[in-house]
Chain A
Amino acid sequence: MRVVLAEDLYLLRDGLTRLLQAHGIDVVAAVGSGTELLAELLAQRPDVAVIDVRLPPTFTDEGLRVALEARRQLPGLPVLVLSQYVEQLYARELLSDQGGSVGYLLKDRVFSDEAFVEALRAVAGGGTVLDPEVIAKLLRRRAAEEPITTLSPREREVLELMAQGRSNAAIAQRLFVSEKAVSKHSTSIFIKLGLEPSDDVNRRVLAVLAYLNS
């Protein structure tokens, strides 16, 4: 798997590179600014990009803007955005093109490297990975609104894990239930959220988007 990495702090960039290499991931470019990043993304076309939100030259949300711009030019380019803080607003923007292959995580998550690499692979494979904190905020907010109130607590748990990019098998393992039970729950979630069964769209992504865009 080929990865382009953008992080302005040298120590972190170096650490992340080594972490990824230790898991057999090929870091084809590791850059420290937004301008370099865009150039590398367009030139290398990696399997996935790992991008810090705050990058020079503006030291604001440069990384996010580059990620959005790159996805505009290369639709479906998988990006995993890392940040010291998570905002629903940014999550919305990342998900707004509905192309999937998007991740948005707190930087802390790299501490548990297996989970991080798992998330990275999920994004590269077309999945959507949102930080548990974003999900928690979403659920708190949507708790007051219409469709979500009809979900049972268990269904909410399943949806939360689903939004974190986990497969049905992983969710079943996490909740100590059978995989069949999970697929039953997810069907129920899709019905309650009014997502019609269809072959060509990823209902799991749409389930998350249902919250974001309601």
Chain B
Amino acid sequence: MNWTVLAVAWIAAWSAALIWFVLLVVRRARSPQRSSKSRWERISALLIDGVAMPVLLLNASLTGAWVPLVAVGIALTLWTFAPRWIASLVIPATLLGVGFNGFLLLRAYSRGELWVSAYGLTIPGYGSRFTHSVLPQACAFIAGGLWLGWRRLDRQSWLYQRVLYIAGCAGEHGRPRWGLVLLPLVGVLVELLGRTSWLGLSWWTASVTLFVTVATVVLVVRAPAVAADLAIVGVILLGLYGVALAAWWPMHIPLPSPYTTDVRFVAVVVNSRGTALLAGAQGLALVGFGLWLIPRAIDDRTRLLLRSAADLDLTARVARLTRSRADAVDTASAQLRSLERDLHDGAQARLVALGMSLRAAERLIPSRPDAAAVLVAEAREASLKVLDELRSLVRGICPPVLADRGLADAVRALALDTPLRTDVQVDLPGRPALPVETACYFAVAEALANAVKHASARSVTIRIEHRDRLLRITVIDDGVGGADPRMGSGLAGLERRLGTFDGVLAVNSPLGGPTIVAIEVPCALSSQKISTYSGTG
């Protein structure tokens, strides 16, 4: 092998890669698309491009492993150009692979199979003190891979949803408490690993304990149900191992270590038939404990998996109805409260004042009729204000034109009162129930108000149609877009109100517009428009 050629090739490859990275980093930092992402996402991207990947490349090239170089190149290409889920898979996988490679190196050094090689930022070797730097670096690579995988995970993807579903991690109400049983299990596992000491390195135990404990805590906090399931599986497997020890004694199941002389299982050192039986008993207890835990760690969603499709639908429906009923009750009582307040502070107070003015006028009539006349005139003015207030109150409860004419004309009237160019298209052969009409009316009113207030729209198109027992309303404006239904409580409240009728409200509002508000409510129509005047008397 010509070392000069190899060295030149390496330097050339390394320089090219470095230049590429610099260009990538600069391009990505300047790209306007990136700037819309969060600061942390940009920083992590810079770190990966600027630090992690060069280190990986350096590592791969120093050990003469050209294949990893190509793999990393492919990964980088994907990272830059490919869809998100590929990037989220390949990069973390590469990091995890390099981390695992560190463990393999350690094992090779400890056996004297490998003299020296590069790893990460160091060149460790057999007996070298840099050898001790391999483990932290490997742990860092694995942690980085896990972290990236977690961050880059497409949570909307089918795969992720499926995994979550099967793992039973998606319980909406409260977290399963069983994740906590993982902690004692980790203790047992670390004890086992430490005693058997795979790599023959004394500080291995402490590092692994630290790493596994951190991973466990993260798992329990972020995904308690997954942690619980893993813990149960671990408990059962450990128990089976104990049973196997007892069954095959003295030919104990060999652990992958050249240095171990005795086998420990939980609380006993297995070195005789008696202790083997003891280990078996402990194993049985663990298996039993694990089996007992299984049904208790299954959360609502996993439980659903075990039922029939009809049951599933019914359960989901009951849950939805319970929620929407609670919403409806809340909304109704809130409306009543505000109505009561408005009447109490407005109309009632004004009527009291009115009564007092009239009483004063009554007293003044014999002595000073002119003053009485002034008071009466004031009282009349006050009564106008009361009427005005009551009118706006009634409009807020159920606009009269809605009660009179139904949704189509009410929306037309609404459009007439809007200072925008409006186009109302209606295809509605009858009338929905009044509560449905009212909810839809207020949703349209809110959408129109938003178009005027926030979207600086110039024209609005409203379409109302009824097909396949579904009332569908779309409000489209030509404004600036960028509306988020979660930002204002207005649309969210209407969504809840529509939810009472199994209705949905969706907002599509890209930056730059247009904004489309779509409402769908399943409902039947009454066959005839009510109160069509016959004209014959």
Contacts and interface: CB of A to CB of B under 8 A. Distances in A.
- The 8 A-B residue pairs with the shortest CB-CB distance in the complex, in nearest-first order: A58-B531, A65-B533, A60-B404, A61-B404, A88-B416, A89-B413, A38-B537, A69-B535
Interface residues of B, number: 27
B530 interface: yes
Contacts of A84: 387, 391, 394, 400
Interface in A43-59: 53-54, 58
Given A85-B401, A144-B421, 14 more contacts: A39-B537, A60-B405, A61-B405, A66-B533, A84-B400, A87-B400, A88-B413, A88-B416, A88-B417, A107-B387, A108-B388, A111-B380, A141-B417, A141-B418
A34 B530 CA distance: 15
Contacts of B405: 60-61, 89
Interface string B320-359: 0000000000000000000000000000000000000000
Nearest to B458: A144
Nearest to A107: B387
Interface string A85-118: 1011110100000000000000110010000000
A85 B400 contact: yes
A62 B531 contact: yes
Contacts of B533: 34, 62, 65-66, 69
A87 B413 contact: yes
Interface in A68-82: 69, 72
A137 interface: yes
B531 A85 contact: no
B454 interface: no
Nearest to B381: A111
10 contacts: A38-B537, A72-B535, A85-B391, A87-B400, A88-B413, A108-B384, A137-B417, A141-B419, A143-B419, A144-B419
Contacts of A107: 387
Contacts of A140: 419
A66 B535 CA distance: 7
A145 interface: yes
A35 interface: yes
B418 A60 contact: no
Contacts of A87: 400-401, 413, 416
A89 B383 contact: no
B412 interface: yes
Interface in B403-422: 403-405, 409, 412-413, 416-421
B419 A111 contact: no
Given A60-B531, A65-B531, A89 B401 contact: yes
Interface in A164-183: none
A60 B409 CA distance: 13
Nearest to A40: B537
